[in-house]
Structure 1
Amino acid sequence: MSHWMTIKDLNIYYGDFHAVKDVSLAVRPQSVTAFIGPSGCGKSTVLRTLNRMHEVTPGAYVTGLVDLDGVDLYGRGVDPVAVRTTVGMVFQRPNPFPTMTIRDNVVAGLKLAGVRDRRKLDEVAERALRGANLWEEVKDRLNKPGGGLSGGQQQRLCIARAIAVSPSVLLMDEPCSALDPISTLAIEDLIAELKTEYTIVIVTHNMQQAARVSDQTAFFNLEGVGRPGQLVEVGATKDIFSNPERRETEDYISGRFG
């Protein structure tokens, strides 16, 4: 199933502060879109609006359209909790439930939704762990705490937890920034595999990573302190990195600022 995500005239606020202005872009199904740009330019903020995590902050709100397969995620009567199941999220630091078993970590979302069938939970746990390239490493210790895994394994456990509920879209907020190079490579390989099934949006500070893993790159920038972040340019990753249309994109990518 193809899952198109369309963002149109998106403006993001924290109370009176206009954090990000006028973002419009389309995210193709079964592809990886990378958000890059200097710190504070709003890329993680935009990511958090795509599954309604932004509004968890008191006073935070958005205007504009975030559309998934023809449904406005901010439309009247749309349940934010359901949105967060359909649009899964993996955070910067691995955040498994440390005292919960590896198996229970993976199926936490299903249990929350009321699934009690042990066989079904076991099947989903195995499928998700295989999907996250973690099954072979943990299949003999599914009843041990998730907090006992290495950092890279914990991040793959969080990815397994996200895909266990069968989302359409996976959001990843700098998923490798707390990991060593070998674990980072494992996550990058995993992203390449996951995009055959999911629409993926990743925020990364690492431009080489964006160039390696993404099909489309969106460059965000900030005009000044206290000014809203904005989308400068979006396009095929190979074009953004080799032949960007905007001078500030070229300056950022060539390391002249940021």
Structure 2
Amino acid sequence: MTATPNEPVLLRRDEGRIAILTLNRPHAMNALSGELIDALQAEFDRLAKDREIRCIVIEAQGDRAFSTGHDLREVASTRDYAFHHSLLTRCSAMMVSIQRLPQPVIAKVKAVATAAGCQLVAACDLAVASSAATFATSGINNGLFCGTPSVSVGRNVGPKRALDMLFTGEFVDAATALRDGLVSRVVPPAELDAATMALANRIAAQPPQQIAEGKAMFHRHMTMELGQAYAYATEFMAGAIQREDAQAGIDAFVNKKPKPEWNGR
């Protein structure tokens, strides 16, 4: 299926408790135009309040690219600093929104993810990649250091691997992305859809409040030093044990009862 420029830049469909967002600019390699950034932000704002959705998948239309990053035609349309600053500010806010969502977010990466497209993969909580996918922070090849992509990519792969990618603009394959922590799973291309939905359904079947609060706790403690992180995680977990969902789950395990049905957040 090939989208035209007149179609919505972002599609959403829900499969049970999973929301699937599809970047729909295949004619432009799913580049993150201002319109697409704003559409993602609006959808994240809606999903943050949706108690029925327990997991989110971000995928892309077309076989050529997950996303090649910012739309350089849009960037080149003006030399106005305020325009570029607004575009990048909105993009950064959208990326941060992914971490703040109560639901886990999975990137499903079929093909190329470069620059801010690679940033989007790194910003997601999890990423399932086809073994045919490739990744790069390739702005330097066009004379522009990938500053904002370096934030999430660096936090995924560490400084030396990130700077290697940022300084050279070279592509890495899916196996390397998995080794370095940029993606969480790699599967054959024919299994990408099924593997991603299996992961999403597995997450959606877990107790949603524990998942939502655990996601927030994890991202917060990753910014702390070790002792502070353990103190914070200890306080979190001691409180989580007292909650109804944990009590029901522990009781089912100890007394060999059927697994409970987890209610909404």
Give the TM-score taking structure 1 as reference length: 0.26
The structure number with the bigger radius of gyration is 2
Higher helix share: 2
Give the TM-score taking structure 2 as reference length: 0.26
Higher strand share: 1
